[in-house]
């Protein structure tokens, strides 16, 4: 295990544990908010059930990242790059992959937050239908769209964003040539 592995493992662990803790707090807090609302209990139970399922799926993804941190660190560092760890340039691809994975974890954490917001909005809507149904719908569609964007970007980034990383490495190397003139 070289320096890159250690750094990747450490950062992934810190980020995953941090967002895991925050998601766990959300799982406890939001159902309590929903249960504490007096009316529309039947709607609340369905909401809490849906909320718990989505949150647990997101939690499992983050947990998987945490358990497989060694494998992920191996993939982030890459095979060719471990051959000569002295060169400064080799760190570029590794750094881009590492930041992609960390940003991917953040996307999942944010998606968990959006699910909570979305479900609370649904709950409020069921209780206050008489106050502007259309506005509530518009907000919910927006939140749904944000959720889809976050999950799609999160999955791509967690996979190491291969095309993005290759493109960035190429552009960074081009910039070395540009700035050295």
Partner 1 sequence: MKRQEFKAFGQIQMIANVCIAVIGIHIALIAINNYILLPRTMFCRSEMMSRLFDMFYVAVSLGVLSAIVFFIIVNNNWLIKKILPDEEPIPAENQKKWFVSSLRIGLVLCGLMLLAGSAESLVYTAKIIVGLPIWGRKLFADIFYDGRFDWSQLLKNSFNVFKTALIAYLIIGAPQFVRWQTKRTFTQGAENE
* Residues in touch with partner 1 (CB under 8 A): 88-89, 91-92, 95-96, 99-100, 102-103, 106-107, 109-110, 114, 142, 145-146, 149-150, 153-154, 157, 168, 171-172, 175-176, 178-180
Contact 108, 154 (CB under 8 A): yes
Q: Which is nearer to partner 1, 46 or 146 (CB)?
A: 146
Burial group, residue 52, by CB count within 10 angstroms (0-12, 13-18, 19+)? middle
Contact 14, 73 (CB under 8 A): no
For 68-88, give the DSSP string.
THHHHHHHHH-SGGGS-TT-S
First to last CA, the chain: 37
Q: How far is the CB of 177 from partner 1 (least distance, A)?
A: 10
Q: Using CA atoms, how far apart are residues 173 and 152, in angstroms rounded to an integer?
A: 28
**Residue that the structure tokens 């979305």 belong to:** 118
Q: Which is nearer to partner 1, 48 or 62 (CB)?
A: 62
Q: How far is the CB of 28 from partner 1 (least distance, A)?
A: 23
Q: Which is nearer to partner 1, 48 or 77 (CB)?
A: 77
Q: Which is nearer to partner 1, 62 or 102 (CB)?
A: 102
Q: How far is the CB of 91 from partner 1 (least distance, A)?
A: 7
Q: How far is the CB of 44 from partner 1 (least distance, A)?
A: 25
């Amino acid at each position: 295990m070289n320096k890159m592995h250690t750094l990747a493992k450490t950062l992934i662990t810190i980020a995953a544990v941090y967002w895991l803790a925050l998601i766990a707090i959300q799982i406890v807090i939001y159902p309590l908010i929903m249960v504490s609302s007096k009316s529309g209990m039947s709607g609340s139970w369905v909401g809490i059930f849906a909320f718990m399922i989505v949150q647990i799926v997101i939690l499992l993804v983050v947990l998987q990242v945490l358990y497989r941190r060694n494998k992920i660190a191996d993939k982030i560092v890459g095979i060719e790059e471990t051959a000569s760890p002295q060169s400064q340039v080799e760190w570029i691809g590794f750094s881009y992959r590492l930041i992609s994975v960390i940003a991917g974890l953040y996307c999942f954490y944010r998606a968990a937050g959006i699910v909570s917001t979305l479900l609370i909005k649904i709950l409020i809507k069921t209780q206050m239908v008489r106050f502007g149904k259309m506005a509530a719908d518009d907000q919910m569609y927006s939140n749904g769209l944000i959720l889809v964007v976050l999950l799609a970007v999160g999955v791509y980034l967690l996979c190491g964003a291969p095309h993005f990383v290759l493109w960035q490495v190429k552009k960074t190397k081009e910039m070395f040539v540009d700035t050295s003139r």
